[in-house]
Amino acid sequence: MYNTIPELTPETIARFWNNVEIKGANDCWNWKSTCNYGRFRINSKCYYAHRIALATIGLKSDVLMVLHDPLKCNNPRCVNPNHLRLGTSLQNGRDKITVGNLQGSKNSQATLLESDIPIIRLLANTMSNVKIAKLFNIGPCAISQIKRHITWKHVIGVATDAEVAEFLRTGTSVPFVLDFQI
Ligand SMILES: [Zn+2]
């Protein structure tokens, strides 16, 4: 499912952590680039930074997703291995419910999920930025940037009508496997 991460040399590991704002053990360590889901290149192949972060402590899998531990953080830019774990898409869905319960769904602090993006792109065909922004409790500028593929450009595709109907009914998008290799 995922590209196998090669053995990481000390040089590669050092180069990786150079891209990270390392703080205390329990703090979020943000990937320095503006992209939420940073990528890191090894031998001309790109890997998601989260996957490399776990690999630095020996946790690798070709089939499991890398998830943020919902009890520790829900920060897409965070690559602190203490805040990450390997898991299935089912666990990802459960984590999302946990995050929802912790934060209150779609509150003003809410961050978008990857699975929201294809829905936003479809809604944008028929709905104003302001209306979509209200649905997701974010600013209209953020919607505009998503539509123009300035942000979240790693999320490809547009939702189906059925997925949008489900979102409008339940107020939540169905999480999907978002991690991929290029
Ligand atoms: Zn974190």
Would you say 80 and 18 are in contact if contact means Cβ atoms under 8 Å apart?
no
Is the distance from CB of 140 to CB of 180 less than 8 angstroms?
A: no
- 177 three-class SS: coil
Q: How confident is the model at residue 179 (pLDDT cuts 50, 70, 90)?
A: very low
CA angle 111, 34, 147 (to 5 degrees): 60
**Residues 96-114: tens digit of each pLDDT:** 777 766 554 344 344 788 7
Please give the domain boundaries of the chain with CATH numbers for all domains: 10-103 (3.90.75), 104-182 (no CATH)
The residue behind tokens 């209306």 is 131
How far, in Å, from the CA of 81 to the mean position of ligand 1? 8
Torsion of CA 83, 84, 87, 93, to 10 degrees: 50
- Ligand 1 mean position, distance from CA 180 (Å): 20
Neighbouring residues of the ion ligand 1, judged by CB less than 5 Å: 28, 73, 75, 78, 80, 83
The pLDDT tens digits for 28-49 are: 999 997 666 788 999 988 899 9
On average, the pLDDT of the chain sits at 82
Question: In the prediction, which pLDDT does 24 show?
Answer: 92
- Looking at the chain, the whole-number percentage of residues with pLDDT higher than 90 is 31
Q: What is the mean pLDDT of residues 62-91?
A: 88
